[in-house]
Chains A and B, each alone.
Chain A
Amino acid sequence: MVIATAQNSVKRKHPKKHNHYGFRDFFQFDPDKGTILDWNQGQNILTTEDFIIGLVEGLQEEVGDASAATMYTIGCEWGLKDAFFFENWFEKEFERSMRQTNLLFLLETWWWPFTAQGWGRWEIDMGDRKQGFMFINIFDSAVARTLGDVGKPVCYLYAGLFAGFFTELVKKQLSCIEIQCYSMGETYCKFLIGGQDRIDAAAFWMNEGATARDIEKRLRSGEILR
């Protein structure tokens, strides 16, 4: 009702409004076309978790264990494309270059559309940025929540998304690994982003049974695989 009537005009009337992430502000439904556009004029489709399951199961059937790597690659492509998409709307909305913006503010602004699109909330920990790595927590990962408790990390799509986006943002090849997952019985998912050497080290330690906390500690003490 109400707000839906006004919704199509909000962006037109207030193109520079920043707090536009409520459902009825953010999405514009076109009843003639049967399509949905978001605030930044990107087309969206709504799906249930069946879409994620379909993707995971369909891949499993075709490529077997390579499905994890494939989901990661899809994520990387997503992050890369989204970095360009983001830069475009950010600079229009805020009338300034992405590179002359407070970094934390920039990143919060990047994640807001994902929050509105139902991908869960995040928390970013940049305390170790100078050392070349950082952590992201995701609450209610769409992948892990969908697949349930399977005893190992499953959010390759998110890991790829972060790797792709941050690689483009800092113009340096970065990778990402999920070191704690809702699907391992944890309450939220934790991702480590950094150069390949660190990600390899974390993967190795995880294989040996290290927890996210162990990995954080070892990284902070400067330990790296030889």
Chain B
Amino acid sequence: MHPQIAAVFDEAENRYLKPEELKLISQYVASMPERLDAYRSLRDRELEIVQAVADQLEAASPQESEETLERCLKNALLMLRYCALSLLVNDESLVERRFLAWVSPLAKVYDTKAIDAKLYRLLNQQLSKMLTAKQLSYLSPSLSLAQEALLSQSSTPQMVVSH
């Protein structure tokens, strides 16, 4: 959620909320029905969306192993789930802490940037077909944050410890 809304209790004992603070909350609450709709669409049509992406990706990357493609698709599913959550609560930092902190180091090791770039293009096409412009505008801050972070990092060699 917007950090300012999350902080409403912090000053509770000193003063009442200023009109602009109250307005911020009202705006978020007013946007809630649309956010909920977008969230539900993403949830209910997740498989349809990502399956379409998977089919196109597989066709476009015949040289890639299934294992690699599957790993990338799994990360994309996770990304979409966290972006959906962050759309709902209006907090992009959630994507950073919950998704990127875990997935970026692994994506770096497995070096899947080229496939990811392809995948995101396909995914974004699907999403823009399915969501309204308004809904997309709620989703895109976190979605671009996640995609840009993963595409901008350089790769590192894989570690080779064994059990």
A and B, direct touch (CB closer than 8 Å) = yes
Tell whether, in the assembled complex, residue B3 and residue A14 are in contact, meaning their CB atoms are under 8 Å apart: no
B77 on interface, CB distance cutoff 8 Å = no
Q: Is A10 an interface residue (CB 8 A)?
A: yes
Q: In the complex the two chains form, what is the Cα distance from A6 to B3 in whole Å?
A: 6
A3 within 8 A of B: yes
Q: Any chain B CB within 8 A of the CB of A13? A: yes
Q: Could you tell me the dominant secondary structure of chain B's interface residues?
A: helix
Bound Cα distance A5, B10 (Å): 13
Q: Do the beta carbons of A1 and B10 come within 8 Å of each other?
A: no
Question: Contacts A13-B10, A14-B11: A5 and B101 contacting too (C-beta < 8 A)?
Answer: no
Contacts of A46 in B (CB 8 A): none
Name the interface residues of A64-119: CB closer than 8 Å to any CB of B: none
Chain B residues, Cβ within 8 Å of A17: 10
Q: Which of B34-42, B64-72, B87-95 contacts A (4 or more CB under 8 A)?
A: B87-95
- A27-52 vs B, CB cutoff 8 Å, 1 = contact: the mask equals 00001000000000000000000000
In the assembled complex, which residues on chain A have CB atoms less than 8 Å from the CB atom of B11? Answer: 13-14
Tell me the residues in window 2-30 of chain B with beta carbons closer than 8 Å to chain A beta carbons. Answer: 3, 5-7, 10-11
Shortest Cβ distance from B89 into A: residue? A1
A14–B3 Cα gap in the complex (Å)? 16
Bound state CA distance, A10 and B8, in angstroms?
A: 11
Complex Cα distance, B1 from A3, in Å, reads 8
A170 at the interface (CB under 8 A from B): no
**Does A2 count as interface, using CB distance less than 8 angstroms?**
yes
Who on chain B is nearest to A5 by CB? B3
**Total number of B residues with any Cβ neighbor in A under 8 Å:** 13
Complex CA gap A10/B6 in Å reads: 11
Q: Is there an interface contact between A2 and B6, defined as CB atoms closer than 8 Å?
A: yes
Report whether B101 and A3 are in contact in the complex, using a CB–CB cutoff of 8 Å: no
Contact A2 B10 (CB under 8 A): no
| A5-22 to B contact mask, C-beta < 8 Å, 1/0 | 110011001100100000
Which residues on B sit within 8 Å (CB–CB) of A6? 3, 6-7, 10
Q: Distance (Å) between the CB of B5 and the closest chain A CB?
A: 8
Quick one: closest B residue to A13, CB to CB? B10
Q: Are B101 and A1 in contact (CB under 8 A)?
A: no
A2 touching B101 in the complex, CB below 8 Å, given contacts A10-B7, A14-B11: no
Tell me the smallest distance from the CB of B16 to a CB of chain A, in Å. Answer: 16
A136 CB → nearest B CB, Å: 30
Most buried by B among A2, A4, A9, A31: A2
10 tightest A-B CB contacts, nearest first: A2-B6, A6-B7, A2-B1, A5-B3, A6-B6, A1-B94, A6-B3, A1-B91, A3-B6, A5-B93
A-B contact pairs, 10 of them (CB 8 A): A2-B3, A2-B6, A3-B6, A5-B3, A5-B6, A6-B3, A9-B3, A14-B11, A17-B10, A31-B97
